[in-house]
Amino acid sequence: MEEQIAELVAKVAALEAHRVSSNTIAAEVYYYLTIPLMVIIHAGFLAYEMGASRTKHVLVSGMKNILAFAFMIPTFYYFGWFVYWAWQPGIIPTAESWQTAIDFASPVGEVMGPSLADHSTGVFWGAFTLFACTTASIFSGSVIERIRMVPFVILAIVLGSFAWVVAAAWGWSAGGWLVTGWGYHDFGAAGVVHMVAGFFALGVLINLGPRIGKYNSDGSANMAIGPHNLPFTLVGLMLIIVGFFGFLAACVIYPGEGWSWDANQWANIYGGPTTLSALAFNILMGMGGGIIGAWCITRDPFWMMSGGLAGIISAASGLDIWWPPMAFAVGFIGGGALRPLANLLDRFKLDDAVGAVTVHGTIGIWGVVSVGIFASGYEVGGGNTVATSFIGQVIGAVVMFLCGFVPGYIVSLIMKMCGWLRVPEAAELAGLDTTKVPVSAYPEGIPPSSSPAE
C-alpha cells in the first residue's frame, strides 16, 4: 500500500510539473505572438504614411518610418525598459526603484539575455518595445515632407524610449502614482501611448511649421496637397487596426504564472479581472462605431477609415469594463468628432499631414476621460489601486498631455534654434526623394487615369 501511495504521489507531482511547464510555455508563446501582430501595425503605418505623401517625398517618408522602428529596438533595450522600472512608483526614481530596475532591466545584467530559466523577460520586453515603436510611428506621419532625417530619429528616440515610458510607469502599472493615488485607469493606453505620441507630435509641429504651399493667402488649407495614393493609405489604416488586436492582447496578464495576478483568471495590467472575450466585443464595437461616426459626418474615405482607429482609441481605456453598446457609443462620438477637431489645427496653421494629433492626441483625451464620465467608482484593479473617478481621469489626461507635449516642444525648439530641424526650402520644393535617396519610387511615372466615357 505504501508503495502504491508513493507511486500515486509521484504521478500527481509529475502531472503538476507538466501542468506548470505547459502553462509557462503557453504564456510565453502568447506574448511572443503579440509581437509579430504588432509589427503589422508598422506595416500599416508605413503604407499609411507613404500613401499620404506626395510622389516626390514618398521614399523618404517610408525610410523615416522604418528607421524610427529600427532605432527604437536598441534604445529601448539599453535604457527604455530600465526607465519603465526605475520610474515606479513615484514621480522620480528612488534608490529602491533604481535597484528594482537594475534587477529586472539592466542591459548589462544576465536578466536581459537568453536564459532557460526565464520565459518572460524577453517577450515582455519585446511587447513593450513594439509599444515604443508605435509611439514613434504615430509621430512619424505628422511631420512628413519637411523634417530632417537625423533630428527626426533623435525625436523618435526621446518619445519612444523615454517620454511615453515615464508616462507608462506612472499610469500603466499597478504601482504607478497616478493609479494608486488617483485611480487612473487606461487599459488600452489611450493616454499612455496615444495621447503622449499625439501631443509630442503637436509640440514638434509648432516648431517645424507647415509644408510649403499647405495654406493659401487667406489662411485656408490647400486641398491640392494631399495623399498621392489614397487607396494605399486606406489599406494602411486597416492594417493598423489588425495590428492593434495584438497590441491590446499584450495589455492583459496571462494567469497561472509567478508574475500573474491570479492562478486562473486573466487580468488587466492593474490586476483587475478581464477576459479576451471582453476585448473581442469592445474592440470590434468601438471600431465599428468610429467608422460609422466619421462616415456620417464627413463621407470622406480617409476620415472614415481613420474613424475606425479613433473608435478603438476612444474605447481603449475602458476596453476591459465597457458593455459593448457603450464601446460602440464612445467610438461613434470619437469618430464623429475627428474632422471638426482636425479643422481646428488648420485654423492655427498646424500642418498635421495624417491627422495624428487629432486621431491619437485629442481622441485619446476622450478615451481617457470617458472612463471618468461613464465608469466612475469602479474597482478595476488589485494591490494598492483605488476606484476610478472623473477627477482622476482628468488629472491623468493632463499628465499624459504634458509627458508628450513638453519634451516634443522643447527638444524640437532647440533643434530649430540650431537650424537643424527642417530641410532647406529648395530640397523640399524639389522633393526629398530627389535630394536624399539614390532611387525613384516611380521611375516610369504614374500615368494619368483615362477620362470616363461620355
The predicted structure's pLDDT at residue 4: 72
Cβ atoms < 10 Å from Cβ of 170: 25
pLDDT along the chain (454 residues), means of 10: 70 60 89 96 95 93 94 97 94 93 93 90 95 96 95 97 97 93 95 98 97 86 84 94 95 89 90 94 97 95 95 96 97 96 90 94 98 89 80 98 98 97 94 87 70 42
Q: CB burial class (10 A; 0-12, 13-18, 19+) of residue 299? A: exposed
First to last CA, the chain: 96
The helix/strand count (H/E) of the chain reads as: 18, 0
The predicted structure's pLDDT at residue 152: 97
Neighbouring residues of 129: CB distance < 8 A, sequence distance ≥ 6: 72, 73, 76, 77, 80, 81
Closest CA to 144 of 229, 217, 44, 59: 59
- Is 182 within 8 Å of 389 (Cβ atoms)? yes
Assigned C-alpha cell, 325: 453598446
Using CA atoms, how far apart are residues 80 and 78, in angstroms rounded to an integer?
6
Cβ atoms < 10 Å from Cβ of 445: 8
Written as one string, the DSSP assignment of 374-438 is HSTT---B-TT-----HHHHHHHHHHHHHHHHHHHHHHHHHHHHTT-SB--HHHHHH-HHHHH-S
Residue keyed to cell 503622449:
196
Hey, where are the domains in the chain? Answer: 10-94+119-436
The predicted structure's pLDDT at residue 440: 84
Cβ atoms < 10 Å from Cβ of 271: 18
Assigned C-alpha cell, 362: 485629442
Amino acid present at 178: L
Would the pTM of this model clear 0.85, i.e. be above it? yes
Using CA atoms, how far apart are residues 277 and 388, in angstroms rounded to an integer?
22
Using CA atoms, how far apart are residues 148 and 209, in angstroms rounded to an integer?
13
- Helices 301-316 and 324-347: crossing angle in degrees, nearest 10, is 120
The predicted structure's pLDDT at residue 453: 42
What's the CA angle centered on 68, arms 66 and 73, to 5 degrees? 100
The predicted structure's pLDDT at residue 16: 59
Fold of the domain spanning 10-94+119-436: Ammonium transporter fold (1.10.3430)
Identify any residues that bridge with 381 across adjacent strands, giving them in sequence order: 271
Using DSSP, state whether 186 is helix, strand or coil.
Answer: coil
